[in-house]
Amino acid sequence: RIARRIDRPVVLVGMMGVGKTTVGRKLAAMLDVPFVDADEEIERAAQMPIPEIFAAYGEPHFRSGERRVIARLLGHENPDAPRKRKVLATGGGAFVDPDTRALILDKAISVWLDSDIDTLVERVGRKDNRPLLRGGNPREILTRLREERRPFYQQAAIHITSGNQPHTVTAGRILKAID
Ligand code: S3P
């Protein structure tokens, strides 16, 4: 087992379907640090699934909850309390929010995971838990969002393009890049 000396959280950003959660879990195991999924923490805090948060309160409300949860996970209020060594997967829109992005850039090693649209479309097709894809053509929505979000994702410290290679391979490439 490789235990590299990362001293800041590693935060994965990028589009829905790119594999942030699965890759994040594998990377955390390789680094021997805890893995945290921001979407899961938001659902826990709100005691509600994400599609219901969107439906009941709208996206701006979701974004402010997301901002608070990520701030807590990155130890914004109390820098000493949360463990610094961790891998955090964020929802696809988190890094687009100016405050959340500034916080991540300040506190963490940010990693943008990207892949081609075909891979994203195939991967989001496996689950129906993404409010932003409801009632539309997933390929069109993903293509548009990816273009809109690119200028923000590009601000991440590390860029990894994954295609549809196995998630373990992607995790290994991140490991090399942050080392
Ligand atoms: C979103 C992505 C989702 C989730 C929410 C909004 C987005 O997370 O946070 O549905 O704006 O791209 P994943 O990227 O994990 O699917």
Domain span at 99? 10-178
Is 4 domain-assigned?
A: no
What integer pLDDT is reported at residue 77 of this predicted model?
A: 58
Average pLDDT, the chain: 92
Task: Please write the tens of the pLDDT for every residue from 27-66.
Answer: 999 999 999 999 999 999 999 999 999 999 999 999 999 9
Span between the terminal Cα atoms of the chain, in Å? 15
In a domain, 5, yes or no: no
Which residues belong to the annotated binding site for Mg(2+)? 21
Instruction: List the single range of 106-110, 119-123, 126-130, 152-156 with lowest mean pLDDT.
Output: 126-130
Asked whether the predicted pLDDT for residue 83 surpasses 70, the reply is no
Q: For the chain, how many structural domains are there in total?
A: 1
Q: Would the pLDDT of 94 be above 70?
A: yes
Place of tokens 């594998």: 26
Q: Which is more confident, 2 or 39?
A: 39
Q: What is the per-residue pLDDT for 79?
A: 55
What is the per-residue pLDDT for 1?
A: 47
Residue 2 lies in a domain: no
Q: What angle do CA 75, 161, 133 make, to 5 degrees?
A: 75
Count of other CB atoms within 10 angstroms of residue 156: 23
Which pLDDT score, from 0 to 100, does residue 24 have? Answer: 98
Residue 120 lies in a domain: yes
Q: Which residues line ligand 1 (CB under 6 A)?
A: 16, 20, 39, 50, 91-93, 130-132
Q: Residue 45 falls within a domain, yes or no?
A: yes
Q: Which pLDDT value is given to residue 164?
A: 82
**Cα–ligand 1 centroid distance for 51 (angstroms):** 10
Q: Give Cβ neighbours of residue 167 (< 8 Å, ≥ 6 apart).
A: 19, 22, 23, 26
- What pLDDT, in 10s, does the model give residues 6-34? 789 999 999 999 999 999 999 999 999 99
Atom of ligand 1 nearest to the CA of 18: 14
ipTM of predicted assembly, 2 dp: 0.98
pTM of the model: 0.94
The number of the ligand 1 atom at minimal distance from the alpha carbon of 129 is 10
Ligand 1 midpoint to CA 2 (Å)? 30
160 bridge partner residues: 113
**Rounded distance from Cα 109 to ligand 1 centre (Å):** 20
CATH number, domain of 58, equals 3.40.50.300
Atom index in ligand 1 nearest the CA of residue 59 equals: 6
For residue 118, tell me if it sits in a domain: yes
Asked if the structure places residue 1 within a domain, the reply is no
Q: Is residue 117 part of a domain?
A: yes
